[in-house]
Amino acid sequence: MRHYNPIQRILVTGGAGFLGSHLCERLLADGHEVLCADNFFTGTKANVAHLLDHPRFELMRHDVTFPLYVEVDQIYNLACPASPIHYQHDPVQTTKTSVHGAINMLGLAKRLRAKIFQASTSEVYGDPAVHPQVESYWGNVNPIGLRSCYDEGKRCAETLFFDYHRQHRLQIKVARIFNTYGPRMHPNDGRVVSNFIVQALKGEDITIYGEGQQTRSFCFVSDLIEGFVRLMDSPPEVTGPINLGNPGEFTIRELAEMVLELTGSRSRLVFQPLPPDDPTQRRPDIRLAQEKLGWAPTVPLREGLLHTIGYFDRLLSDGAGA
């Protein structure tokens, strides 16, 4: 399904990151003008290097914790470190990025009367007592734990989005993103897919926390970006929050064994203690996305992993992430 909209000037914060760079690519392919803003804390210029000469693409170094004064029609707010290693590196800044970033981007959207999209997260559900997770579930989140800077920061950002919507009649779109993987993931981000692939390709031990029976659902990046665009293009009454993720559920051990098979690696599986507040299960209920957006993921895990392994293989061959 393609979207034929009038040409829009679109701001993507965090646009040089994993998801942001794929979104910039997609919006350009759909004929829009794209302003990519990133402070390069976790994003890299390499992710958008192939877009720099595009006549409708502009790259700006900017931190969303400071106000931004530009003229745009739509805003996708993706700026925030999203892996535990990165967001726990400077937890105060992580919360600021989620909260101050939301305030600044909402203020910009209010001034421009622009439609604004918030990249929220399945982490708002915490370690869920409801399975699979539905949008009406309020979550089970530790407000003072090691992951709270991200979990609570994103929860507060959702609060701000809905208060701006109610108080200022701002047109908002809130997506709750479940585990996503694909090319341009950071090789050292500590996420399970990139961890396993890099360890397998290097022939290192594959580290599994706990017994590997905790579950995750893995969505390939192209499927997620399709969901983003469909949500942004949906009618005004569709505000979200809407779960976007792949409902296929795998144990961490199953993922590790699939990576070993697809890479042909002889790496061993080693087991370490489970980190605090690590969710035991994670799977989206996507009935709302199916009903409101006509969206469902199409890329099977095995196929997506092959694309991702190919990317990391090239990256490691070039000496990055070594």
- Whether 4 is catalytic: no
CA trace torsion 89, 93, 97, 100 (10° rounding)? 170
Between CA 232 and CA 238 the distance in angstroms is 9
Q: Name beta bridge partners: 121.
A: 177
> Among candidates 58, 176, 71, 168, which has minimal Cα distance to 117?
176
Pick the catalytic residue from 76, 87, 125, 150: 150
Residues recorded for the chain: 322
Tell the residue number behind the tokens 């892996």, with chain if given.
83
Question: Residue 93 is inside which H or E element, if any?
Answer: helix 91-112
Residues 6+ apart with CB under 8 A from 318: none
Residues 6+ apart with CB under 8 A from 97: 63, 64, 65, 79, 80, 81, 153
Between CA 252 and CA 247 the distance in angstroms is 15
> Among candidates 10, 1, 55, 53, which has minimal Cα distance to 34?
10
Contact 135, 288 (CB under 8 A): yes
Contact 267, 205 (CB under 8 A): yes
List of E strands, the chain:
9-13, 33-38, 57-61, 74-77, 115-121, 172-177, 180-181, 206-209, 215-217, 219-220, 242-244, 249-251, 269-272
| Catalytically annotated residues | 150
